[in-house]
Amino acid sequence: MKTTLRFALWSTLTAATASASNERIVTAVYSHTYNGYQRAKEADGSPKREYYALAKGSFLPGASVDNSIDKVKFPQVAGLTAQFLALRNFHLAPDANHADFLLVIAWGKTLPFNDATYRANMGNYFSALNQANTASKNMKAALAQAASGGSSGGGPEGAGFQARVLAQEAQNALDQENFIMKMFEDSRRDADQFNAKLLGYVDEINHLDTPARFGGVGTAYNDLIDDLENERYFFVISAYDFQTAVKTGKRKLLWATRVSVQAQGNKFNEAAALMMAKASKYFGQDSGRLMQEFEREGKVTLGDLKFVGVVSDPKNAPPAKDNK
């Protein structure tokens, strides 16, 4: 089974076709290390070779049909990831005894809060608010008129009593709309929090959430919230300690790198390589903050999976025989 996977990884890479684009794209990358992990170094300071076993993480398809991501399967995702892992000296383990990490890859498209439903309900809320205010004014006017004229405005059949009933009904309707809006706000906050954790936005949002954001110092905070409330393509590459996973069945996270781009105006199968290239710079490292870069887009269309043979690792090859 391991050999089959290695074939699939290599063949997926050779099936990819690259093309340039004049469009520009913003990538967001956040990487963090955990449980005391530090990348081992060689004597010359270069990163030491480390090995991983591969596991399929979750796929989130988003709310709508999107052929650019729906047709992309795990072997293609794994193959693209393996290419950029190798550039950082992370390699697929030849067997379980050599594995340092259990690498889990998740990918997909975020599912933001349905803003259209929220906006539509705001119309109902403001309508109920206006009706409640109007009914309250009418009630006060009717009671004042009844008091000044000595009429029976407060009686069961009086204008004041009727106005009071209408005002109470309007207030009840407003209370109901307030309750519905509270539910929407809670749902919106929950969706934003989920996406912030998924994409690695939490620390940056907390860093920018200060009184200064109300003082005209820029739109960075609001831009981040807009990201969370719009669809984004993403990868999450998580590395767990392999031996802990095998021996205890528990996952001890060592590092995780998260990368995303907005879905609108992009295609997942074309933006995937650029996303992974940006993420790979931080594999096994701590980025410190959310790293956002704005540049020309590079596109790679993920091709069909084809068997092309075995590519051996030269470092694992037996030494050449001396014919002398």
Return the pLDDT at 320.
46
Return the pLDDT at 282.
96
112, 189 in Cβ contact below 8 A?
Answer: no
From first to last of its 324 residues, the chain has per-residue pLDDT tens of 333 323 233 333 333 333 334 456 789 999 999 999 999 999 998 999 999 999 888 999 988 889 999 999 999 999 999 999 999 999 999 998 999 999 999 999 998 876 666 667 777 777 877 877 887 888 888 777 777 765 544 554 566 777 778 877 877 877 777 777 677 777 788 889 999 999 999 999 999 988 877 776 678 898 999 999 999 999 999 999 999 998 898 999 999 999 999 999 999 999 999 999 999 999 999 999 999 987 665 555 555 444 333 333 434 444 444 444
92, 54 in Cβ contact below 8 A?
Answer: yes
Does the structural domain 2-111+232-316 have CATH classification 3.30.160?
A: yes
For the chain, what are the domain ranges? 2-111+232-316, 115-196
pTM of the model: 0.70
The string over 290-310, giving b where at least 16 C-beta atoms fall within 10 Å of a residue's C-beta and e elsewhere, is bbbeeeebbbbebbeeeeeee
321, 55 in Cβ contact below 8 A?
Answer: no
Contacts of 48 (CB under 8 A, 6+ apart): 39, 40, 41, 42, 89
Which of 53, 130, 38, 31 lies closest to 97, judged by CA?
53
